[in-house]
Amino acid sequence: MDSIVVKDLTKKFNGLTAVDHISFEVKEGELFGLLGPNGAGKTTTLNMLSTLLKKTSGEAKIVGFNISENKDDVRNNIGIVFQDPALDSELTGKENLEFHAMMYGMNKEDRKKRMKEVLDLVELNDKANVLVSKYSGGMKRRLEIARGLMHKPKVLFLDEPTLGLDAQTRRRIWQYINKLNRESKVTIILTTHYMEEADYLCERVAIVDHGKIIVMDTPNKLKNTLGGDVVSLEIESKSEEFMKKLRAIKWIKKMKKHDGKISLTMENGERRIPELVKMAEKDGIDILSVNFRKPSLEDVFIHFTGRSIRDQSASQGDMNKNEMRKRMMRRH
């Protein structure tokens, strides 16, 4: 059964198409990722699905409810963890959860029981009565996830859940996300521009760029489309001349030039590197650096877009997150 169904969903802002006729389905209990650079339309997509932003065209249903016709039903069945912090730092963790639960009309007995459940899930019960201002960045993120689960939503939206966290804390958050998906069976859409995050967490990934879904599948299947190892060469000059010779080599399956480097896909890449170096030396071409790796989602992105994923500022179509939170609070 599909928890989320999206068909030709589109959003335009003053002539700019932020989300361009995207379609996908997410199964009940699935952890689905929208992977792409900042400004690709990921957050705008979540804002439409959560009824915070009106669509321009297309259709979408959350657990059977239309995002335009059944807004209250949609809101009652979703939880959201915003990209920017949205906690009251002058309240305790418990008070933040209680305030959220009251907005959803939960009675006192249900609030108390549910607070213990979600705090147990994210391992924050011992910090429940501590002011949020005393929390670390990772603890705040865990509390925000707990808050999003307070009213037992069937769908949870996580917008860049580990943005700004250090690598160790990010890994811990991944573990909590996996845990809640496994134990609570909640359907999750996660947006991220971290390739490793999407690879680690998501059962399926839709790569998004300039408002469009470029390709969509499981991380392993996406990586397997490249058909081998990836060898990247950084050369000082004569790149076009060298690429012309490389195209004639049968064991090089794919080739892309991006960010001043040449990415080659081949089998047994580590054994082919000496041959590539000899070819370059013979033609008087200086190789500045060589990188060998197994295919990653970064390589998939490069293959389908011709460039590396870019950490740029959000597009002008993405509404200010603080305004989004204000809208959500007014509606409850």
> pLDDT tens for residues 87-143?
999 999 999 999 999 999 999 999 999 999 999 989 999 999 999 999 999 999 999
pLDDT tens digit sequence for 192-218:
999 999 999 999 999 999 999 999 999
pTM of the model: 0.81
Tokens 């064991």 label which residue? 251
C-alpha to C-alpha distance for 193 and 20, rounded to whole angstroms: 19
Domains of the chain are 2-218 (3.40.50.300), 227-294 (3.30.70.980)
CB atoms within 10 A of CB 33: 28
pLDDT tens digit sequence for 219-253:
999 998 888 899 999 988 888 888 999 999 999 99
C-alpha to C-alpha distance for 147 and 309, rounded to whole angstroms: 31
Q: Treating both helix axes as pointing N-terminal to C-terminal, what angle do 93-103 and 137-149 enclose, rounded to 10 degrees?
A: 30
Average pLDDT estimate for 267-286: 90
C-alpha to C-alpha distance for 118 and 319, rounded to whole angstroms: 29
pLDDT tens digit sequence for 128-137:
999 999 999 9
Tokens standing for 225? 């489309």
More confident residue, 318 or 78: 78
The whole-chain average pLDDT of the chain stands at 89
User: What is the share, in percent, of the chain residues with pLDDT greater than 90?
Assistant: 68
CA angle 125, 131, 133 (to 5 degrees): 120
